[in-house]
Each structure stands twice: as C-alpha cells, then as structure tokens.
A and B are shown apart, each in its own frame.
Chain A
Amino acid sequence: MGETLQNWELLSFYIMMGAYLASTVLYWLWMAVKKDLISNLAALAAIIGLTANTAAIVLRWIVLQRPPLTNGYEFILVFCWGIVISYILVRFRYRIEALGSFVMPVPFLLLGFIVLKMGPAERAAGFLQPALKSQWLTIHVLSAMLAYGAFAVALGLGIMYLLKARSTESMAKGGKETWISRFPQESALDELAYKLVGFGFPMLTLCIVTGAIWANYAWGSYWSWDPKETWSLITWFIYAAYLHARLMYGWKGKRAAWMAILGFAAVLFTFFGVNYLIAGLHSYA
C-alpha cells in the first residue's frame, strides 16, 4: 500500500513538473502569437499542474500520516503549491493572462532544483526530530507558503510593470507597439502587486510570530538570531519598507516594482541560501 502510494506520488511529481513546464512554454508562445486558445491551454496546464501538486502533497501526507512539511523537498512542494494557487486566483479574478509568463517559470525552476540537486535520500520521508513534533509546524509553514506564493505573483507583476513602463516610454518616443503593449495598464499592475504584498505581509508576520511561539516552547527562546530567523526578518523589513514607502511617501511604479523584486530575492535567499549555505537551527528545513 505504502509503496503504491509512493509510486503515485512520484508520478504526480513528474506530471506536475511537466504541466508547469508546459504552462510556462505555452505562455511564452502566447506572447508571440497572441492566440487566446494558447493562453487558455497554458492556464489549463497550470491547473493540471496544481492538481498534480495537490495530489503529491496529499499522497505524501497519507504515507507519512502527518503534514509533509519537514524537509526541503516537502517545503518546495508546498512552496510551488502556494505560488500556483496564488497565480491561478489572480489569473481568473483579474484576467491577466501575461502574468503566467513571469510566474509559472518560478515553480518549474523550483522543481528543477529538486531534480538536479536533491538525491533520493534528501527526498525520502524521514523521521521527525522531537522539536518538529508540534502543532505549530503546520500553521508556521503554511502561512510562510501563502506569503511566498503571494510575493512570487507580486514579483511577476513587478517585472511586468517594469517592461510595460519601458515599452510605454519607448512608444512615447515613437517606438513600435510590441507584445508588451498587451499588458494591462501600469496602474493596474502596480495596484495589484500592492494588493498581493498586502495579503502576503500579514501572512509572513503570522509565520514569524507562530515560529517565535513554537521556538519558545521547543528551545526556550522566541528569538535566537538563527540565520533563517534573521533572513525572514530581513524579508519582513523589505516588505514593510515597501508598504511604508508606498503609504507614507507615495512610492509607486518603478520603485515599488523593484522593491517587489528585491523582496522576492530575499524570500529565495531565506528559503535556499540559508538552508544550503548557512548552518543553523533550521538546517533541516
């Protein structure tokens, strides 16, 4: 039974990876040929990928009989899920087809990292160390993944904003209309990115707060300046600065877009850089 489920999980993994790749390629193709059918196929591929992603998580959950949130492989599965669900919600709510071209490569590259860098031992489900046996784990990790998902979509919107702004400037100087002209208005991209950061920021805060409560139970210290803690705080400050600069000084447009990109770079470093470059209390993560 366990082995069969593990095989299904592996199959789900490769379906998910293939679907995310297909979605990325189709979105890029759509930008070139401008056929709605291709855009719809790209969205369908993203939905198939998300379904397979969900299946991979659920199957692993059944095999382990606990939420699969305790090693790098499991985190990436949930990280991808957070990104794609955020993307699909935004895609269907705001009808921004081009967003997929910039967001869907992120989960594909994350899964590529698993394939290229993680051996079977790292992907295997291991026993939980005592510190991880806590109810706080689920809310801590899930809030992080929802925040990271929203920030990934804000990253895509930030890139789109910068491309669109450049294209608008070029057209104002007599340049030709390009595929970028099909992007939504700059103000809409900017405001949507703000909305996503506004959703992700409380989630990131919840992640840090629940982590602190849990750390206080497990290690007797709500804050240890562990590299993961420190970098999640740096990420928090970057997004706090984004929100403050916007609310207090009216920072919009290019500066806000660059901050969304910088924020997601900090997310990636918190996720990968800390895990693979720096040892600390979160070294299992």
Chain B
Amino acid sequence: MLALLCTNLVVCNVQRFKKTYKLTFGLKPPRENSHIPQKINTTISGDNAEALQQKTEKTLKKKGFYITQTEEGGQWRFIAQKRALGNWGSFITHIAFVILLLGALIGSLAGFKGYLLTGQGSVVSLQEITVHKGQVKENLAVKINSVEDRILPSRERDNWYTDLSILESGQEVLRDTISVNHPLTYKGITFYQFTYIPGAAFTIEMNGEKHPVTLQIGGGNYYIVPGTSLYLVLAAIDSEAQPPVVLYQVFDHFQEVKRGKLALGQSDNIQDIYTITFDEPAPFTGLHVKADPGVGVVWLGCGLLMLGLLLTFYWRPVRIAGILDTDGEPVLTIGAYSGKYKMGMKEEFDQIVAELRD
C-alpha cells in the first residue's frame, strides 16, 4: 500500500514539476484579451498610456510583484507574480511525504529497537537485551553506575536519572547521566530513560555459600533457591526510612509460607533452609535502546512537509495579467488568476485596482 502511495506521489510530482516550473520561471504575458483571467477582471481607462503603464508597474512592484512584460503591436502586455515560491508548496509537500516514508523504511530495515530493565551496578551486553525490532550488531555493553528517582522538595518527581557507562571491549568509552527527555547517543545507538523501579540487594546464604540477589518490588522478578520450590519476592521497600526497610515474601507453589520485614543489614532465616540479608536499596532502571539510521531522513521529511504546507497555505502566489491598448484611448484590461481561492484573491485584486484608479 505504502509503496503504491509513494509511486503515486512520485508520478504525480513528475507530472506536476513541469507545470510548477513554468508557473515560477516561465510565465508569459497574455497575447490577447481572451487570455486574461475572466473571473476576476476589470478594465481601467486613462488619459495617457505611458502614465497608466508606469503607474501599473509602480503599483505592482510596490506590492512585491515581479513583472514580465512585452510591447508589441501597440499593446503593453504583462504578467506579474508575487510569492512565486508558493507554487512549489504542493510539490514539496508530496516529496516530503515520500522522504518521510523512506526514512521510516530505512529505520525499520537497518535499525533495531529493544529495552533493558536492570539493577544498579549491573553490566548488560547489548546482545542480551530484549529486542522487539531488528537485530543488534554492535558489540557494546552498558554499565549502570547509579539510578536515582529524584524528588523535589515540593514532593514532585523531578525525573528518573541513570548514570551509565558505555563499554566497548570492556573499556569505558563514554559516561553520562540520562533522564526522561534527555537521551544519550553513542555511535548511532541511543539510550532513553524509560522507567524506574525500586529494588533491593540481598545476600542469600545456604550451605555456607553466599549468593548476591537483586529484586524489584511488586514481584517484577523473583529468586528461586536452587533445589527447592521456594521463591523469594520483594513486596515493598521504604528507601527514605532511616535505616531503609524492606518487606519480603516467600512462596511455595503460590502459597505464601513466610513474610517478613528487614532493616538495612538485618538477616532472617527462611524455613531453616537459607538466610536472607538485606544489603542495600538497589533500584532498577528501564532503558529503551534504539538505533535508527532513518530518523534524520524522517526529520528532513517532516521539515519539508511543514515547509510545503506553509508555502501552500500561507504563501499563496498571486498572479495578475493585463494588456494595455496604447492605440487610441488607453484601456488597461487586467485580471487575476483566482485558483481555488477566489474570495481572498478578489480582495487583493480590488486593492490594486483601487490604487490604479486613484
């Protein structure tokens, strides 16, 4: 469908080009009175042909018209135009639409879009992120140095901030802090702050072995102790409290078998199988990761679309043509091309005529 639309627009524009070019650069004065626009038309008589011609030229030039004229067989013929660029509005609009679709196509074929949701302190290779469009070819990793949900004194959320490092072959090549509406781009890949989820870091100790575990609140993820059917969930966290406090739950086949509250550094025994220690609040950050080589083309299309529409609707060309018969009593027959906009054109034409008659 889109391909057909683009073909239609291109063909339409090819046909339109010659006419538009002619309207802008190839205007020719009318050869006879019947070629002067008839819908908006009048005649002006004068005593002196030269004076009437000069007055017409002066009035039109003062109003910003560019005049093309010839003198032949006792007649002064002219065609005057202003806002000639407006002729290109429709052409530019249609081309812009094709460019816009082309940009979207490039982005769709050559780019990728994915996301990652990970905790503070983690390092995630871009090859491991969840991708829902395209394929990640770049061998980069991102390290989440810190995550912050910044609240203003008014209690309004300022923004979510993620301090991240881009790693290339294990080496940090760029470090910056991003937030919603303030993404970071490196080698064509852009990282967007998308969400923030509070979380906590725990140490699970079982059979003398320690395992670090990071959990999101609300059951966004869970930890199953190896060899058991027990899974641990972080129900809530109060990071503002001093010391910070978490509420955890332990389930066995969807049945809650234990829940408890832990302050920072505190431990608890779970079913005599393992112990859990609350180490620190560890928020999660959600980032969209995207490469879209077509986005610049899309913006070019958008810019041209706006330009085309502005020229079409706010910069309408005005064309006036006339013939002054210099033999005998001078009579100027003058008319305006109305196009689809007769009322506005008539108003402008009447003003010019009033000045000529003045």
Contacts and interface: CB of A to CB of B under 8 A. Distances in A.
Interface of A: 127-131, 133-134, 187-188, 191-192, 194-195, 198-199, 201-202, 205-206, 209, 212-214, 216-223, 246-247
Which of B160, B181, B302 has the most A CB atoms < 10 Å from its CB? B181
A51 B192 CA distance: 42
B313 A198 contact: yes
Nearest to B290: A220
Q: Which of B159, B340, B341 has the most CB of A within 10 A?
A: B340
Nearest to B313: A198
A217 B181 contact: yes
Contacts of B183: 217, 220
A209 B288 CA distance: 21
A194 B306 contact: no
B343 A188 contact: yes
Interface residues of B, number: 38
B21 interface: no
A221 B302 CA distance: 15
Contacts of B190: 220
Query: Which of B90, B295, B313: most chain A CB closer than 10 A?
Result: B313
A188 B194 CA distance: 51
A206 B305 CA distance: 9
Interface of B: 90, 104, 113, 154-160, 179-183, 190, 192-194, 288-290, 295, 298-299, 302, 305-306, 309-310, 312-314, 340-344
Contacts of B298: 212, 222
Given A127-B154, A195-B344, A201-B309, 17 more contacts: A127-B157, A130-B160, A130-B180, A130-B181, A134-B181, A187-B343, A194-B340, A198-B313, A199-B313, A205-B305, A214-B181, A218-B180, A218-B181, A218-B192, A219-B288, A220-B194, A221-B290
A209 B305 CA distance: 9
B313 A246 contact: no
A133 B113 contact: no
B344 A220 contact: no
A194 B341 contact: yes
Contacts of B314: 199, 202
Nearest to A216: B295
Contacts of A213: 299, 302
Contacts of B343: 187-188, 191-192, 195
Contact of A202 (B159, B302, B306): B306
A68 to B, nearest CB: 15
**Which 4 pairs of residues, A with B, have the shortest CB-CB distance?**
A220-B288, A130-B180, A220-B192, A202-B309
Nearest to A130: B180
A188 B341 CA distance: 10
B157 A219 contact: no
